[in-house]
Amino acid sequence: MKRAVGILTVVLSIGLLIMWQTGGFETKIAAVTPPSPTTPPISGNSVKAEKIRVPMVEEAVGTIQSRHKVDVTPRIQALIEEIRVNAGDRVKEGDLLVRLDKRELEANVGLAEQALKAAEANLRQAVTDHQRNLELLQRGVVSPQEADNSRLRVELTSATVGQARRALDQANVALSYSEIHSPVTGIVTDKLQNVGDLAMPGRPILQLYDPSLVRLEAPVREALVRRIRLGDHLLVKLGTDERLTTGIVDEIVPQADVASRSVLVKVLVPNAQDLYTGMFGRLLIPTGEEEVLVVPKNAVQRVGQLEYVLTPTSHGPERRFIQTGRHLGETIEILTGVSPGETVIVPEHTPPGAH
């Protein structure tokens, strides 16, 4: 009996301890259910989502290139003594760009001058001899054959003088090639050789381009190029900031690329002084029209990454989550969430929590 009473006491003690730890001896307070949040009243104008027709465009990615690119190439073989410009420098037509070693050319000019002087001296002597023979012929001292021979020597030495003069002219022209001047007004894009290198005909030293004649060159797929004609005005997005301007179709290369099945279209971009060759651009080609659903931009609110509009109901404005597309002027395209003809509210101020 004592053992049973002891066991019962232990069990009761354990039970009381468990009830005390679980709060069985504390007074219960009824839970209060917080009121469900409601959208605060919004004042604004009610407008209907409507469909509008907008042009359909397809983009062709291209690269900015100059219409007028020039390779500055020497006409003679000589060592480069001086290059007076660097990449990025602006030059005018006629500016001195490169000097070549001209010592050998000056020596050639000297030799040509001496050869001309010798030929002219021979011509003077031949003329004097011929005149003397003519006088002697009248006196009967020399034969007509000798007079003819002296005349022939005059003609031969005269031809030699002409050849010597042309050789001197050629030597002077070659000497002028030791200085290379800019053929156009433009910008230096690259310096391909340095001082001390051997300049050779056909090997460019510098590259220039005319910044006033810039084109966007973009490959356009075969099916789309049929919509483009020379002289067409097309929209162009330039650079990473996608600056929008209008270009003129200047050239359509009459050959398709086999791998990409595209045709190269070159669009002239006027008044583009701040563009550089190699920059990124997009050509916007119209392909027709399409209907899109739009609402005013101010009707679209954002909370974090979510977009919504307010629609009027009998219980007040209600949030309708949506997905938007393109910005079209003062309106924005609605992809999902709103149907044509539905009313949305353009609030007079931004609701709390929206941004």
Chain segment 202-236, per-residue pLDDT in tens: 899 999 988 778 889 999 988 888 888 999 999 89
Return the sign of the alpha-carbon dihedral for residues 201, 204, 207, 209: positive
- Which 8-state DSSP code applies to residue 348? S
Are 210 and 186 in contact by the 8 Å Cβ rule? The answer is yes
The pLDDT of residue 34: 45
Residues 240-246 have a mean pLDDT of: 80
Given CA atoms 34, 36, 37, 42 in this order, what sign does their dihedral have? negative
User: What pLDDT shows up at residue 5?
Assistant: 65
Confidence at 273, pLDDT banded by 50, 70, 90: low
DSSP structural state of residue 298? G
How does the average pLDDT of the chain come out, rounded?
A: 84
Quickly count: other Cβ atoms within 10 Å of residue 268's Cβ.
16
Q: Per CATH, is 103-176 categorized as 1.10.287.470?
A: yes
Between 172 and 142, the more confident residue is 172
Residue 198: the pLDDT is 93
Q: Flag whether pLDDT at 355 surpasses 60.
A: no
Q: What pLDDT score does 67 carry?
A: 81
Q: Is the pLDDT of residue 350 over 70?
A: no
Contacts of 222 (CB under 8 A, 6+ apart): 256, 261, 262, 263
Under 8 Å CB-to-CB from 237, ≥6 apart: which residues?
Answer: 59, 243, 244, 281, 282, 284
Domain 59-67+211-283 matching CATH 3.40.50.620: the answer reads: no
pTM of the model: 0.55
User: Which residue ranges make up each domain of the chain?
Assistant: 44-57+291-347, 59-67+211-283, 69-101+178-208, 103-176
Return the DSSP state at 14.
H
**36 pLDDT more than 60:** no
| Helix or strand run (H / E) with residue 69 | strand 69-72
Nearest to 84 by CA among 262, 228, 206, 233: 206
- Confidence tier at 194 by pLDDT (50, 70, 90): very high
Mean pLDDT value of segment 157-183 = 92
H-helix segments, the chain: 2-21, 103-139, 144-176, 222-225
pLDDT band at 140 (very low <50, low <70, confident <90, very high): confident
**What is the per-residue pLDDT across 82-136, written as a single tens digit (0 to 9) for each?**
999 998 888 999 999 999 999 999 999 999 999 999 999 988 898 888 888 788 8
| Joined tokens for residue 229 | 């004609």
Region 144-165: mean pLDDT is 88
Report the share of the chain in percent with pLDDT over 70.
87
Q: Which fold has domain 44-57+291-347?
A: 2.40.420
The amino acid at residue 29 is I
Please choose, from the candidates 307, 302, 351, 348, the residue with its C-alpha nearest in 3D space to the C-alpha of residue 40. 351
Output 199 or 27, whichever has higher pLDDT: 199
Collapsing DSSP to helix, strand or coil, 59 comes out as strand
What does the H/E/C string look like for 266-284? Answer: EEEECCCCCCCCCCEEEEE
In Å, what is the CA distance from 252 to each residue of 256, 267, 282?
10, 9, 16
For position 43, what pLDDT does the model report? Answer: 58
Q: pLDDT by residue (tens digit) across 275-333?
A: 777 888 999 988 888 889 999 998 999 888 899 999 888 888 889 899 998 888 889 99
Whether residue 35 is predicted with pLDDT greater than 50 in this model: the reply is: no
Residue 350 contacts residue 302 (beta carbons within 8 Å): no
CATH code of the domain occupying 69-101+178-208: 2.40.50.100
Which of these ranges, 132-146, 313-327, 333-347, has the smallest mean pLDDT? 132-146
Residue predicted with more confidence, 8 or 338:
338
Q: What is the DSSP string of 203-232?
A: S-SEEEE-TTSEEEEEEEEHHHHTT--TT-
pLDDT at 265: 93
Compute the average pLDDT of residues 233-251: 86
